[in-house]
Structure 1
Amino acid sequence: MTFDVVDVIRTKRDGHRLTDDQIDWFIRAYTDGEVADEQASALLMAIVWRGMEPDELARWTAAMITSGVRLDLSPVGRPTVDKHSTGGVGDKISLILCPLVAACGAAVPQLSGRGLGHTGGTLDKLESIPGWQALLPTQAMIDQMRDIGAVICGASADLAPADRKLYALRDVTGTVEAIPLIASSIMSKKIAEGTDALVLDVKVGSGAFLPDIAMARELARTMVELGAAHDVRTSALLTDMDTPLGLTAGNALEVRESVDVLAGGGPSDVVEITLALAREMLDLAGIDADPAAALADGRAMDVWRRMITAQGGDPDAELPVARHVETVTAPADGRLQRLDARAVGIAAWRLGAGRARKEDPVSAGAGVVLRAKPGDVVTAGAPLLELHTDDPARIAAAQAALDGAWDIGPDATADRTLVLDRIRA
């Protein structure tokens, strides 16, 4: 069936539900290049303003999934469960979580992406390990999940190709920030990868994509409902992103910290979030196991080493180190009251750890190291942050991003609540 694309745009512009046939036709026609970018942009903007009904969004997501292939992971022979994070600063959780959950008996098909702007990308972090390969053929990915239980790699081009085109268009037309479009983008890729179950880590706070908790809760609920509509057991945790996770923001810096956690140490906030997500994943997978024990006894580290080796990496190799380190000192005595996650993320980006465009290179050693977290006592002149970069000319811009990023005062700080809410269908 063929439609006049202008009629489809008018339907949504005037506040009506798109029919199933209109949705199926538009997604196929745009993916195949039959609909012009400017016409697709007009429809996306109409969706931003008019929204989508739940069954309409489920059909839109289904059409995006069927624009490509849906993987069959049944040969893996284990329950499959994945996790998706909406992105944050210092969010290295996937690096630890994937081998940890695999060590407890599940298989984790962690298809990940690259960083853009102030949030880091899992693939960028792992590529700081010498030899590690982000792209795997589908059969190699399935074999690795069957043999090891864990894989972190990039998505192939035939998974939800409609989303790849639509996302690129949204990025340049001011139509990114719409709950239906965000939810369908995330869930079409995750459902297409073939996982049985999915846990969503929806970040909330200054360093998150959605700093408003009400909007984050709406996104989480929408994605959970989309998962249920497509027979994927789905739940969401809303987690705090006002302060960077852990003590590092950067690529090799975060890999080192992740290995520390896998070795049984690491920052307490990273451990807490990791275990909360691991328990949620194992529950959805129907596996009765204690992830804390798998961290403590070295099983998770064993899976990590096997996973890195299987993808060409050397888990014992020295990681890149930035050529220049600048220390930012505390301006006064007191207790650190606040450290803004977005400011730290932008500083890391400007130091070379992130990119402004998807094709930009990143520096493996660049980033920010936190020498204090909110609640810590600091003294004037003592280290507060370290700025790591290969290019000293980047320091000034990073320092500018940190202007006003912290408060120091005499009062004790309230305990930080890391898991803010849990949403299930």
Structure 2
Amino acid sequence: MEKFRPQVKDISMFREIAQNMVNPMELLREAISNCHDAEAKAISIIVYRNNIGKFIIEIYDDGKGLSKSDVHRFFNLGDSNKGKLGIGEKGLGTKIYFKSDKIILQTQTRSGEAYKVTMEHPWELLCNNTLPEYEVETILPKTGRAGTCVVIEGYRINNPEKYFNFETIKDYVLWFTAAGSFKTYFANCTELHKYIHNMQIAPRIFIEDKINNIKEEIAGTHQFHPPQEKPRIDPCELIYKRSVNYCRHFGPYHRATNINGEYVSFQMYGTVSGTNCRRKVVKLKQGESLRSRFGVYLSKDFIPFTKKVNLMPDLNFNHYHLLINSQAFELTADRNDLSNQSDQKVKWVFDEARKIIIEDIIPLADEGYFSLRKSEEIEYMVREKQKQLENRLDSFDKIEDLLLDEIPISKRPDNESQVALLLCQTQEQKNI
């Protein structure tokens, strides 16, 4: 009997990983995750076109840099030194950089190792069934300049400015990357520090869009609107004049247990808020709505990765902005969905999270936010009925006289309400 070892076609796998991205912005997610793992306190993202018109994305960090073995892991497939509980343990993420004309990596460790790495024409070579090569050059270190810079030249997407401009970069970074983590809300949970690095640190993020000449520094934490339970009136709003500016926070909730001797926990934080508040913490893409963006999100490493609709039994789920984190969650290869939904640990997380939502969060939201909305709806209905009555009375006053002496009615009605008013008026005249 013969034995065979399964073969791995590296070239096609590299190509498939780079090609099968759900969203081109995932490139930033991978880059920032690496910066975060490198313990960076500052991350810069710069986009521009070079002197020959190629679109360039640069990501800098001031982290601990890459050793030579780390450089090889950066380019290898399925080669990662991250802990098994981390979000990027599969070593696949940076391969999406390969869908480009050129990759330049320059890095320096805190001990003084410094390298410049260049990969030419990676996407063209992969499409021709050739595995691209990279050159590693040892360079002189610069004093106090530890960190890494990745330059991606000629990223192969149509209209890259549509995806990579200041507003879309800022929104994506703060919602779906390690620079938009909500871990700082749980920094006091000491038991989490063994699973999540730098719980109390939020990096500074610098975004520069040289094409549109916009740059800004932002705090690297997930965006929740500040609490606002006594909202001001919005004079432009027709019905929900106050509730559009309402915002209430929930959490932090932290629950833990042991399942088959294994520690399992989850963390939850979020808000319920009006339209104006939700609009201030999001930049919607063309065709995207507040309803499609907001709701309940699952997270790992405190980074949201997918929405979970059935955890919120409220039809008004889109008014909530709730994030549930658990290191028990395992992600699909593209990191856009949950791969172990049937796991006993995950089921426990869902059951407990749903219990908090139903027994704690929804009643408080009903008592405050939705009660305010209901009262505003009633006020609006009363105002509208009053307005309709005033319009009817006004139109009644403008009815022409019939000028018929033998008929007590002196107006020509044109609806049932006016007939009723005229009959009442006739009865009053008879009584007189």
Query: TM-score normalized by structure 2?
Result: 0.23
Higher strand proportion (structure 1 or 2): 2
Q: Which has the higher helix share?
A: 1
Higher gyration radius (CA): 2
Bigger RCO of structures 1 and 2 (CA < 8 A, at least 6 apart): 1
